[in-house]
Amino acid sequence: MQVMLVAVRGPAPARLTGMSASGPGEQRRQRLRDARLYLVSGVPGSPPDPGRLPDLVRAAAAGGVEIFQLREKRYGDEQLTAVAHAVRALLIVNDRPEVALEAGAAGVHVGQDDMAVAEVRELVGPDMLVGLSTHTPGEIDDADPALVDYIGVGPVHETPTKAGRPAVGTGLVRYAAQHARVPFFAIGGIDASNLAEVTEAGAERVVVLRAIADAADPERAASELSGLLAGTRGR
C-alpha cells in the first residue's frame, strides 16, 4: 500500500491555473479529500534513526495510515532526500520545498514562520500539495484556497514535538469546522484515548506522531485510530 499526503474531507481547494481535471494535482487533491489518518515522523529519539522509517511506514500503512510526512529538521537535505527515495510512502516533506521536488514528493508542509505559501506555491507549481500549520482563528481565515490545499489546526494538546507552543484546545477545532475554506485536520497530542474530543468538536481527520511511532505495535495502533475515525465519514 502506498501512503501519500491526504488529510481531510471538506471543501475542495480552488483549482489552480493550468491544472487539468485528470492530472496528477487533481488526483492528489482527491486523495487528500478522502483520507482520515496522517502520520508525521521523525522517529522519536536522539539521534534520529532513518533506518527505522521504512518499517514504521509499512506497519502504519498496513494499519490504515493514508498519509506520511517526514518532519525531521536534524537531517541534512541529502540525507532527507535519500530517506524519501528509500521509502516511497514519504510523500510529504516538511519545510523544504526544494527537497520535496528533488525527492518526487506529493507535497510540502510549512509553518507560519517558514517560507510564505505564495513563494512555496510559485516554487513547486500547481500539481504539488501545499499544507500550512495554523494556530489561531485569524490564521485559519487567512489560508488562501488558491495557494493552500489543507491546514493543520493545533496543537490541540501540549506536545513535546512543539515545545513551548501552548495548546489551543478543541475550541479552535470547532472554529475550523465552521470556517475553514480548505480541508483541515487536528494535530497535537492526539491518541486513541482523546480522539473523541476532537471528532466531537468537528474534526474528521487527525495527524498523529507518538500515538503510532511510540507504540509497541504501530500497525495495531494505526488500525485502532483508523477504526475510530471511520465513524466520522459523511457525518
Instruction: Using alpha carbons, select from 45, 39, 35 the residue that is nearest to residue 89.
Output: 39
Q: Which of 15, 71, 210, 220 is catalytic?
A: 71
Catalytic residue among 9, 41, 121, 133: 133
Active-site option among 58, 162, 174, 220: 162
- Residue 52 among the catalytic residues: no
CA-to-CA distance for 156 and 167, rounded, in angstroms?
5
- Let me know if 73 is a catalytic residue: no
133 carries an active-site annotation: yes
Amino acid letter, residue 86: A
CB 20 within 8 A of CB 26: yes
Instruction: Name the region of 202 (left: φ>0; alpha: ψ -120 to 50; beta: rest).
Output: left
Cell numbers placing 8: 481531510
Could you list the active site residues?
A: 71, 133, 162
